[in-house]
Structures are given as C-alpha cells and as structure tokens.
Amino acid sequence: MTDKPVIVFPEKHRALLEHRLPEGVELRTFTDLESAMELAPQADIGWFEDFKQGLMFKASAAAENARWINTAGVGIDAFRTDLMIERRQIFTNGVGLRSDSIADFAVLGVLNIARRFAQVVRGHDKGEWMSVPKGSRSLGGTRALIIGYGSIGRAIGERLRAFGVEVTGVRRTPGSDPAEIGPDDWRARLGEFDWIVLGAPGTSDTENMLGKAEFASMKQGAGIVNIARGSLIDQAALIAALESGKLDGAVLDPTTPEPLPEDDPLWKAPNLIISGHIAGAAQLDSMQRAVDRFIVNLDHFLNGEPLDYVVDFSRGY
C-alpha cells in the first residue's frame, strides 16, 4: 500500500463517498470500461460496481496492485476471484445489504405466477376487459422450497409465511429448525413443493442444479423463481419444462449470459418472465448503505485491522 492509498470507484456514486473519506486517501473515479481499466492498476482499493461489458470481471483482473476489492453485490462470480486468491487480495461483498429488496421481488415473482399478472398487464395494454382471471391460484396452503437460506432466503421465507405458505429452506449447514434441510436432501423432496425459489450462490457446486431430472421430479404445475444466478438453471431444460406444461411458470431475474441476446429462445418460452437482474437494484438506498459499510471497513483497513464481510473463497460467498 502506498503512503496515500488510492480508491478506484464509480464516478456516478462519487457524491455518496467523497465527502466521507478521511484525509490521506485519494479517490479516482471511472465512468466506463475504458477508464476503469486505466485506473484499475493504480488501485490500492478497488470498488468496481458495474455489470456492463463485464467491467467487474475485467477491472478486477487488472487491479493487480490492489490489497482490497469491494462490491455492494452478494455474488462473486462476476469477478476474477482466481486472481484474487493468487494475489492474496481481500474481497468484501454486500451480503445482507439488499435482502429486503430481493425478497420483495421474489415474492412478486411467486404472485405473478399464481395470478398470471403479466397477462393482466398485457391485456390492459391492449384495452381488454378481463371478466375471467388469468390466474386464480392462492398462496395460502401451498409449499415453497427456498434453496439458499441465508439472509435473503430467510427474508423471502418470512414474507411467504405471511401469505400462508409453508416454507422449507436449504442450507449448507442446517440448524435445529425442522423447516431447514441440508444440500443433500432437497432433490428427493422436489415433488412436495408448489414453489421453488433459488437464492444460492453461483459456484461449481450449484451450476445447473436445476436441470432435466430435477424438473421431471417436481410437482405438476410448480413455479420457479430465480433471484440468484443464471448458472443455477439449465435454461434449455427449463424451456422444455415450460413448453410441456410440467411447470406452471417461471420468473428469472438473472440469466446466462447477461444481458440475454435478443434471439435467445428463453424470450419466447411460455409463462416466463425475464426481469434483467434488477431485484437488488430496486432498493434505492442500497448503495448508500453499501458506502456506510465501506467507510467502517476503510477505517479497519487503514488501521491494519480485520475487515468485516470478507468473502470465503473456499465456499464461494
């Protein structure tokens, strides 16, 4: 670290951070991929918060001199974590910052499938008066499986229980709660659930965790909501399950790749809504809270103290 640590940060969020920085720290901001790549090697601390053009992946690779890389997001697969491990860089993320926003969005997804609200909106756009509802499923008395029962998963569970849904959560290490099960237990029970909500991190263990065999094991008419990572779902198998009528609907906030090409067959799959990875961004104050957390960690960093919310690379989150 230099005598005057350099923080590389998005220009669009400068107003949230600059006035809170202590003396002796220099802020350099980027506006696009080109400027991020130019500044990344200068960073002692890199905060590359932009999915566009793979900026986080490319800039984190270029930040060869950084001691600490930060993100307001939860998932880490958009970054060059292999290089961070090799360089022994500290990586902190935004676990817990956007739980409420993402949980709200997940429940919105379940409600959309149950009530076919997307079709209601399309009818409105065409000026159609709907005398018969497009969807008439109630949430009360149904059962949901939430795969990835961390801070976001638990927030989703709390909201679904308020609608009368029986919730089962999948955790790496389940506690004493009988509503929690382990990562080796959920596949055998897929046929019990009306709703499958994905909140697990994107790792080698979770890649394509829902595929042809899993969809075949699900309850007829089940619904899928993914607010985690596109890599968790075999998208070709999902399309087949929707087209066959095995699934009643799906809502995908993330996809693979992102952005999804205009000619990708997912766009034409029946009863599918793709929302463009906006669930977390819907919370207007999330970046402010991320800066609040960063300022505390910056104090730790400058004083040689351990940082909070450090990513465990061995677990992938």
Q: Which of 46, 110, 37 is nearest to 72 (CA)?
A: 46
Name the residues annotated as catalytic: 277
Phi-psi region of 316 (alpha: psi -120 to 50; beta: other; left: phi over 0): left
**Mode of pairing for the β-strands spanning 143-147 and 166-170:** parallel
The tokens describing 164, both together, are 């009368």
β-partners of residue 310 are 92
HEC string of 111-152?
Answer: HHHHHCHHHHHHHHHCCCCCCCCCCCCCCCCCEEEEECCCHH
Q: Alpha-carbon distance 74 to 117, whole Å?
A: 29
**Residue matched to tokens 């996809």:** 255
Q: Alpha-carbon distance 271 to 228, whole Å?
A: 20
Q: How far is residue 204 from each of residues 190, 201, 232, 248, measured CA to CA in Å? A: 21, 10, 10, 28
234 Cα distance to chain centroid? 17
The answer to whether 97 touches 290, Cβ cutoff 8 Å, is yes
